[in-house]
Structure 1
Amino acid sequence: MNKQAIHDRIESLRQTLAAQDLTAIIVPSADPHLSEYLPEYWQARLWLSGFTGSVGTLVVTADFAGLWTDSRYWVHAAEQLDGTGITLEKLAPGQPNHIDWLATHLAEGDSVAVDGNVLSIAEQDRLLDAFEANDITLITERDLLTEVWTDRPALPAASLYVHDAQFLAQSAIDKLVAVRVGMAEAGATHHLLSSLDDIAWLTNLRGADVDYNPVFLAHMLISENDATLFIDNNKVNSEIAQSLKDSGIAIADYEAVQDALGTLTANDLLLLDPSKVAVGTLSKMADGVGFIEQMAPSTLLKSVKSDADIDHVREAMRQDGAALCEFFATFEQRLADGEHLSELDVDSMLIEVRSQQPHYVSPSFPTIAGFNENGALPHYRATPEKFSYLDVNEGEGGLLLIDSGAQYQNGTTDITRVVGIGQVSTEHKRDFTTVLKAHIALAKAHFPDGIASPLIDAICRAPLWQAQMDYGHGTGHGVGYFLNVHEGPQVIAYSASTPKERAMKEGMISSNEPGLYREGKWGIRIENLMVNKRVSHPVETEFGNFLNFETVTYCPIDTRLIEPSLLSQVEVDWLNDYHRQVYAELKNRVDGAALDWLTERTQAI
């Protein structure tokens, strides 16, 4: 991106701040639904800063511009911000975030603007608490970007479609009943949903308004007897409109949600998730309406997959595994034939093989294919402007990290594997094997039903910590069912808080992805998806129910990168058992070179 253009945009924004007598502006990575992946219309932070990472907050004042992001993006952000006049502020435990910086550097009576349409209620509360002592005013009623971003893209307008009925275990009617039970338990008369995956799950509809996630822009207001979907009516055909009506869901214009909320009275109690509802959505709420702020009932309901859902996911994983066998067999042969391949080729080849599988829809996130030092950037993405060829000198070797996934109507996949290219070193093998030990530790874990998910992170990290190694990202995230590849409420990360809502429940699907990153050298991550299962033959019963994991990703882990002497017999047995299962699941789904590759890569060590 043209760095002079970034500089000019920041200066234009400063002029707008001065004209409106404002001290500072916060530009978060968010939309009115507090989504992870954003439609182009809401990518203001990217447009202003040029930083392409998915997480970051920009602050601009008359004489300062800074972007806060976490360790996954520090190297990436430093490159993209260099020469723009924007300072990289590194988010880390114990270090000030953008709220701390503003509270410290602004004076009494100063004012901070942030568009309320992209500011969560929870974040507003944090800002108000921090600003109160210095009498700093928070202004959320203005979208200053409208004056600066004159060629802003239009809102997405993709049509809705119905999630294929053969993959649905529950009707929208039944899901609404379950949500209303949750409302009643909370004492709510009304419930507002703005999170797109919750709405897609609840309605059994899907869309294409957000890249990689089969969701659509909408809000939903549910009462004891009525439900209304606020959406661009042009996206809804007559068949879907009738289906919604039959499910007891009315349709209203996307922008009408504020007016609808404005009709609530002091006799009403509105249930909402303060981290998933924007301040601007409530702009017409009357004084006196009561709020119940807690996790939406649908968030837990959709995270706990039914037995039928899990069966469909297993099949999607078999499809994905077969596609990956085709990919790796072709990829390794092309390398052996001396083709000059790049990281970009990996992405295109993966899309090609996956798109041939039944029920394929799209990738589930941008492919991460990072060779050597690029692999040390956990969220690296090759682009036509910046990528590496997979070349090594004679007698040398390197590591290629490939993190990819797909959306199928019968499941969402997410997998990371590492490929050795050339002559891998002893150091490569040591690091890879240590990460594998961490992966196996979590895959084999048993834990109490209902334990706070962040607490089990230490089980995974223990082998790395024992070697005085670590990684800066979480170990695991929830995964949706033909929905967002990152789904809550569970998160396996010791840095996360441990509210009761993050309890591990039977039927949840989570990733297991420990890693190790040596800046400027290589990155390693091994990722499978796992289902929480009840321990089938408990040794003890007086201490409550225990869960363990069923690994449902079917793809070989490259044993050529392993140093066997570092593995215990228990770990060797796990790996051999896993490869026996992978072979059994995939052997009848591939043939030719792909079957040969599968057979070779699943041999016992």
Structure 2
Amino acid sequence: MDIKSRIESLRSLMKERSIDAFIIPSSDNHGSEYVSDYFRVRQWISGFTGSAGTVVITEKEAHLWVDGRYFLQGEQQIQGTEYILERMGEPDVKTYTQWICDNVKTGGTVSFNGKVFTVSQLHDLEEAFQEKGIKTKPEEDIFDIIWKDRPTMPNKKIFIHEDSYAGKTVEEKLTLVKEEMKNINVNNLLLASLDDIAWLLNLRGGDVECNPVFLSYFLISDDKYILYVDKEKLNEKIINLLSIKSISIKDYNDIVSDLKLIKGNITFDPSKTNVWLKESINKEVNTIEKRNITTDLKARKNSVELKNIENAHIKDGIAMVKFIKWVKENVNNEEITEISAAEKLKKLRAEGEDFIDISFDTIAGYGPHGAIIHYKASEESSLKLQPKGLFLVDSGAQYLDGTTDITRTIALGELTEEEKEDYTLVLKGHLNLSTAIFLEGTPGCSLDVLARRALWSKGLDFKHGTGHGVGYLLNVHEGPQGIRRELNPIALEEGMIVSNEPGVYKADKHGVRIENLIAVQEKEKNDFGKFMCFKDLTLCPYELDAINISLLNEDEKSWLNDYHKKVLEKLSPYLLEDEVLWLKNATKEI
């Protein structure tokens, strides 16, 4: 079926069921950002492959909402279809709920798959539709009817993340959760987000590509712990281990019948819990909607995790140095494409001890493709690298001892003055954030301007967040913390890890992004309070050939030189002689 036929097949069902508009988000049953092939319904019906976006289809129109990361990609991928691209955040662009309000008749019906639509999303709809009397009608997964060759549900094996990596035992984590449940006076806790469950149980899986999680639910009910999962994913060792910890195992879909039986009250995260689950809870049970207890515990990495993560970044830095050296030395001698470069980088990372997988699909964009923020090369689009211009590579890995995420923009040869200035302005913002000192309790949104100030002074900006939280052998995007312009009141606390990744993107020209992972740590205490700072975890040289040194001040030069000394010191013991010589040149003082 082509895109037109897919849309028409949905419209036919909508007509049968008296549905005026159907909403298709990007998530799975667990509110996940990245999903397995089975859940890629929005991609199937629109052709848009980005990780975030929402489709709304009515009898006569089809619209796709994307954020600034995907403006260019979305425009390209829906060409030739009836879809209209809605650029979220742009002037005069309505949200999809506002658009539905304006385009669905009074008393009309709006539907969605209740298993992939979160409680928070439903609240937003109901509030927006109330005045006009538009009804919401959760449906079952009707795409099982119209998507004839739909992939099967993922069924990868689960493995144990040993305590030596995790830093805390499952018993210790469960005790912390139970204590907090007692503090807020709740009887039951429902976890539906996959990374929270994996973290809590010190287990990992492979149901979502690049994200070592497994499809499951977890229920704490008084003194009972129940994991709802496909038992085929568990080996005898895990089953016995869970039994010792008094954790029962039930089938994945048994969660619904059990939710009908709970008593007292229950708490769950409305942004991670689907409508299907909420509607299964007995109406006499009081529901408390709040962020998962585990989300905050997971975000603050313990001392063992932080030490392990530093080790993971040494391995990652080794791979990155080998990769950048290889690209620069061979771009003029052999055919290197965006795809073959990404494959080479994955191969180099796989040589590192305890490598599991990459942490997301590598973004390898040469020249104008670097301006597509979340670009993914295909056989049709993949460019051959040339010994000139900029090559943006955003990549990462999953190791048993941590998750990495790094972006380097590589000079492949001669650069224009514009390319150098753009690189240097991004670097200035990157350094300005990395060297920030801030009072305890400061949220990331209060620091965002530091990364943008140099760009704003030249009338430039970037349409994505400056920093996101990062998991620990978990999702590369993790909350609740972040650094972005939009208000997020979550304070940056000791042990949290965030990315530092400003950029600038010029369509049909080039893109620049520079990214390190940084850990929040205490700087000092004095009469004015506790002050915090960042520690750079990423170990990889910046691109000296792309810097306009005249735009850097003395403090920036000094920081850059000190960082490069650390990179050389940390990585040299693991490199071959010619690689050390190359790294010495790449980290020379400016």
TM range, smaller chain = over 0.9
Q: How far has the Cα of 1:168 moved from its partner?
A: 2.3
Quote the Cα distance in structure 2 between the aligned partners of 1:309 and 1:287: 41
Residue 581 in 1 paired to residue 580 in 2?
no
Deviations 1:161-196 (A, max 9, x none): 001343121000110001111211222110000000
* 2:537 alignment partner in structure 1: 552
Q: Residue in 1 aligned with 2:488?
A: 498
Q: CA deviation at 1:79?
A: 1.2
Report the CA distance between 1:93 and its aligned residue.
Answer: 5.1
- For 2:305 and 2:71, the matched residues in 1 are separated by 38
Identity of aligned residues (%): 38
Q: Deviations along 1:137-182, whole A, 9 cap, x unmatched?
A: 1110332212211221110000110013431210001100011112
- Structure 1 Cα separation of the partners of residues 305 and 105 of structure 2: 55
Select which of 118, 136, 146 maps to 1:148.
146
Q: Measure how far apart 1:54 and its partner are.
A: 0.7
Deviation of 1:386 after TM superposition, in Å, equals: 1.7
Q: In angstroms, what is the RMSD of aligned CA positions?
A: 1.2
Question: Are 2:481 and 2:488, in contact at CA under 8 Å, matched by a contact in 1?
Answer: no
Q: Distance between the aligned counterparts of 1:254 and 1:40, measured in 2? A: 18
Distance 2:383 2:162 in 1: 40
Q: Cα offset for 1:215?
A: 0.4
In the alignment, what sits opposite 1:343? 338
1:7 counterpart SS class = helix
Q: How far does residue 460 in structure 1 lie from its aligned partner after superposition?
A: 1.6
> What one-letter code is carried by the residue in structure 1 that aligns with 2:440?
D
Equivalence for 2:500: 512
Unaligned runs of 5+ in 2: none
Aligned match of 1:564: 549
Tell me the residue number matched to 1:215: 213
Counterpart of 2:4 (choices 3, 7, 16) is 7
Specify the code of the residue in structure 2 equivalent to 1:437.
K
User: What are the residue-to-residue correspondences of 1:178-257 with 2, within 5 Å?
Assistant: 178-257=176-255
For residues 66 and 166 of structure 2, the distance between their equivalents in structure 1, rounded to whole angstroms, comes to 38
Which of 319, 329, 342 matches 1:323? 319
Tell me which amino acid in the other structure corresponds to 2:287: F
Q: Which amino acid aligns with 2:298?
A: K
Q: Which residue of 456, 464, 478 corresponds with 1:473?
A: 464
CA–CA distance in structure 2, aligned partners of residues 19 and 257 of structure 1: 30
Written as runs of structure 1 = structure 2, the 5 A alignment for 1:411-450 is: 411-450=402-441
Contact 1:258-1:283 at 8 Å conserved across structures: no
Matched, 1:401 2:392: yes
Contact map agreement 2:20 2:109 (CA 8 A) in 1:
yes
Q: Which runs of structure 2 are paired with 1:20-39 in the superposition (5 Å)?
A: 20-39=17-36
Structure-1 separation of matches of 2:579 and 2:285: 61
| Match in the other structure for 2:273 | 277
Aligned to 1:385: 380
* Alpha-carbon distance, 1:331 to partner: 1.9
State the 1:84 CA deviation: 1.4
In 2: Cα distance, 1:462 partner to 1:391 partner = 32
Q: Which runs of 4+ in 1 moved over 4 A?
A: none
Q: Distance in 1 between matches of 2:62 and 2:252?
A: 34
Native 8 Å contact 1:325 1:590 kept in 2: no
Q: How does 1:122-137 map to 2 (within 5 A)?
A: 122-137=120-135
1:220-269 residue CA offsets vs partner (Å, 9 max, x unmatched):
0012311100000111111101111122211110000111110023xx11
Distance 2:515 2:404 in 1: 11
Matched, 1:260 2:248: no
Cα distance between partner residues in 2 of 1:245 and 1:544:
46
Q: How do 1:96-107 and structure 2 match up within 5 A?
A: 96-107=94-105
Paired position in structure 2 for 1:168? 166
Q: Secondary structure at the match of 1:325?
A: helix
Q: Is the 8 A contact 1:369 1:402 kept in 2?
A: yes
- Kept in 2, the 8 Å contact 1:401–1:419? The answer is yes
Q: Distance in 2 between matches of 1:356 and 1:300?
A: 33
Residue equivalent to 2:304: 308
Partner of 1:48: 45
- Give the conservation status (yes or no) of the 8 Å contact 1:160–1:208: yes
Asked if the contact 1:375/1:523 (under 8 Å) is kept, the reply is yes
* Letter of the structure 2 residue corresponding to residue 26 of structure 1: I
Q: Tell me the alpha carbon deviations over residues 453-473 of structure 1, each in whole angstroms, 9 at most, x when there is no partner.
A: 221111221222222211110
Deviations 1:122-147 (A, max 9, x none): 10000011111111111103322122
Q: Do the aligned residues in 2 keep the contact of 1:198 with 1:299 (CA within 8 Å)?
A: yes
Q: Which amino acid aligns with 2:344?
A: M
How many Å separate the matches in 2 of 1:232 and 1:362?
A: 23
**Distance in 2 separating the partners of 1:461 and 1:430:** 14
1:69-108 maps to which residues of 2 (within 5 A)?
A: 69-92=66-89, 95-108=93-106
- Note the C-alpha offset of 1:327: 1.4
**Cα distance in 1 for residues equivalent to 2:488 and 2:68:** 22
Does the aligned pair in 2 maintain the 1:67–1:88 contact within 8 Å?
yes
Question: Whole-Å Cα distance in 2 between the matches of residues 225 and 206 of structure 1?
Answer: 24
- 1:449 Cα offset (Å): 1.4
| Local SS of the residue matching 2:393 | strand
Indicate the residue corresponding to 2:522 in structure 1: 534
Query: Is the CA contact (8 Å cut-off) linking 2:331 and 2:386 kept in structure 1?
Result: no
Structure 2 CA distance for aligned equivalents of residues 105 and 141 of structure 1 = 21
Q: List per-residue Cα deviations over 1:38-66 (Å, max 9, x = no partner).
A: 11111100000110011111111110011
Q: Which amino acid is 1:409 matched to?
A: L
Which of 469, 474, 480 lines up with 1:489 in the alignment? 480
Cα distance in structure 1, aligned partners of 2:322 and 2:144: 48
| Paired residues of 1:113 and 1:142 also in contact (CA < 8 A) | no
How far, CA to CA, are the matches of 2:129 and 2:146 in structure 1? 27
Aligned-partner Cα distance in 1 for 2:127–2:280? 23
Verify: 1:604 aligned to 2:561, yes or no. Answer: no
Specify the SS of the correspondent of 1:534: strand
**1:493-543 deviation digits (Å, cap 9, x = unpaired):** 012x333xx1110000110000011111000000000010100x55xx122
The alignment of Structure 1 onto Structure 2 pairs a total of residues equal to 589
Q: Which of 329, 333, 349 is the aligned partner of 2:329?
A: 333
> Shift in Å at residue 450 of structure 1?
1.8
TM-score by length of 1: 0.96
Q: Check the 8 A contact 2:115/2:140 in 1, yes or no.
A: no
Q: Does 1:353 align with 2:353?
A: no
Q: CA deviation digits over 1:188-212, x for unaligned, max 9?
A: 1100000000000000000000001
